[in-house]
């Protein structure tokens, strides 16, 4: 199987390259040769490389920057995803696209499953990613949308890397938000499930690929320091104490209903995934 990866130099793209290289022929692409905003150029790329699957990781993920660069966010996350979808459909290629919990508004009181209707939420990032999802559904029937959240992986950037950098001994305490809840997820855990999904080409639709269990950012930070045996005082605080250009969803929890329906194994618990990550090359 030949697999073309967009955004192959990003955090998730790098992990997928590591996980899939021994089993598949990989075609890693990124800027400038893999410009998803160039519809004709990307179509030529797919025609020339003739992949069996495209894993679409390329995106503008800087949530706050998206607020001030709305047009660029939609160009990359929506228009670009539409170009990828159309090229895949024209050349009979399966599309696996990476999306986000930000497509939901975060106001729900339970984890969102794949059949809950997203709205794009309150952020430009979420709205642009939701628009990209809709274009994928419209233009590439043979698709699988994989939503992830609170993602961290080798090389970063991520919350894990930020916390370890801040815990350098120069700060008596760190304030970390305790009123947002989600599923901390490693790129390794999500990437391993992508590998399983590649073995099930008949599956289509939307799948949530976050780790099991939930935490607040405060609880996440405390577990990072506990596992690394770092003596860093962490103080819980509220979201309003740290205003950001893009509002953060209070509820980022994702239920893995589609994995269960498809008979796939559960994702690992977030604490186990974090332990594995911190024991390796971060």
Give Cα 138 distance to the centre of its chain. Answer: 21
Joined tokens for residue 186: 């490693």
Give Cα 45 distance to the centre of its chain. Answer: 24
Tell me, yes or no, if 102 is annotated catalytic.
no
Joined tokens for residue 242: 């740290």
Rounded Cα–Cα distance for residues 178 and 237 (Å):
6
Give Cα 113 distance to the centre of its chain. Answer: 16
Instruction: Tell whether the torsion through CA atoms of 218, 154, 51 and 196 is positive or negative.
Output: negative
Annotated catalytic residue within 24, 102, 112, 125: 125
Q: Residue 239, Cβ neighbours under 10 Å: how many? A: 16
Angle at 264 between CA 261 and CA 270, to 5 degrees: 110
The kind and range of the H/E element at 26 are strand 25-28
Q: Which residues are catalytic?
A: 125
């Amino acid at each position: 199987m030949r697999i073309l990866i967009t955004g192959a130099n990003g955090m998730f793209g790098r992990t997928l390259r590591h996980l899939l290289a021994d089993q598949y022929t990989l075609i890693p692409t990124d800027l400038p040769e893999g410009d998803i905003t160039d519809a004709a150029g990307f179509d030529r790329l797919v025609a020339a490389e003739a992949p069996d699957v495209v894993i679409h990781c390329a995106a503008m993920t800087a949530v706050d920057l998206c607020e001030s660069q709305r047009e660029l966010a939609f160009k990359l996350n929506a228009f670009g995803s539409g170009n990828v979808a159309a090229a895949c459909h024209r050349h009979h290629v399966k599309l696996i696209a990476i999306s986000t919990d930000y497509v939901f508004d975060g106001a729900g009181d339970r984890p969102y499953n794949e059949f809950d209707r997203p709205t794009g939420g309150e952020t430009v990032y979420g709205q642009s990613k939701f628009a990209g999802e809709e274009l994928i559904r419209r233009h590439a029937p043979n698709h699988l949308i994989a939503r992830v959240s609170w993602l961290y992986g080798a090389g970063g950037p991520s919350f894990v890397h930020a916390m370890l950098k801040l815990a350098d001994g120069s700060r008596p305490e760190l304030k970390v938000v305790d009123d947002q809840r989600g599923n901390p997820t490693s790129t390794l855990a999500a990437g391993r499930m992508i590998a399983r999904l590649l073995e099930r080409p008949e599956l289509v639709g939307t799948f949530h690929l976050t780790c099991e269990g939930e935490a607040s950012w405060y609880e996440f930070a405390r577990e990072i320091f506990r596992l690394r045996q770092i003596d860093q005082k962490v103080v819980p605080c509220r979201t309003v104490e740290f205003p950001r250009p893009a509002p953060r969803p209070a509820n980022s929890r994702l239920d893995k209903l589609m994995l269960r329906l498809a008979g796939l194994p559960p994702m690992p618990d977030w604490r186990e995934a974090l332990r594995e990550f911190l024991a390796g090359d971060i």
